[in-house]
């Protein structure tokens, strides 16, 4: 095979990956917004230790968005968050109590990116470390 063609084929995944990383880096600098969430059971036997979350727009502070209106159509209807087995019961209780929020990097016209999960006002990792 021609070495130029081979080199091009090897560079293509690198260029795509670099472009994807630059896009994520750019998008992670958007405004941070917090959306209240509620849990639900997808009735999926193979779901493992994933917490399924839906935005709860009734409990979300919409003043953090332009025109004080929650942009419901810009967000997905469900999100999946991986948790360890030993954390699942306590986190499920917190979700049911309504004290869990997802933080997104958000700008109108772009898909929101999850940047953190907050439990009782603490970052998920901070919350987990205080539970030990």
Indicate the pLDDT class of residue 18, thresholds 50, 70 and 90.
confident
pTM of the model: 0.72
The predicted model gives 32-48 an average pLDDT of: 73
Q: Is the pLDDT of residue 25 over 90?
A: no
Relative to beta strand 79-82, strand 100-106 is unpaired
Q: Could you tell me the maximum CA-CA distance found in the chain, to the nearest angstrom?
A: 62
> What confidence tens digit (pLDDT) does each residue in 84-110 have?
777 777 888 888 888 889 999 888 888
The answer to whether residues 20 and 27 touch, using CB atoms and an 8 Å cutoff, is no
Answer whether 108's CB lies under 8 Å from 65's CB: no
């Amino acid at each position: 095979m021609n070495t130029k063609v081979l080199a091009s084929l090897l560079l293509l995944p690198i260029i795509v990956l670099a472009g994807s990383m630059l896009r994520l880096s750019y998008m992670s600098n958007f405004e941070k917004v917090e959306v209240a969430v509620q849990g639900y059971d997808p009735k999926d036997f193979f779901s493992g230790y994933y917490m399924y979350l839906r935005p709860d727009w009734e409990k979300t502070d919409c003043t953090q968005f332009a025109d004080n209106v929650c942009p419901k159509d810009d967000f997905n209807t469900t999100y999946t968050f991986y948790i360890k087995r030993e954390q699942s019961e306590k986190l499920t209780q917190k979700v049911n109590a309504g004290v869990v929020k997802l933080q997104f990097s958000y700008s109108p016209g772009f898909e929101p990116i999850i940047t953190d999960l907050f439990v009782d006002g603490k970052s998920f990792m901070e919350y987990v470390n205080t539970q030990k």
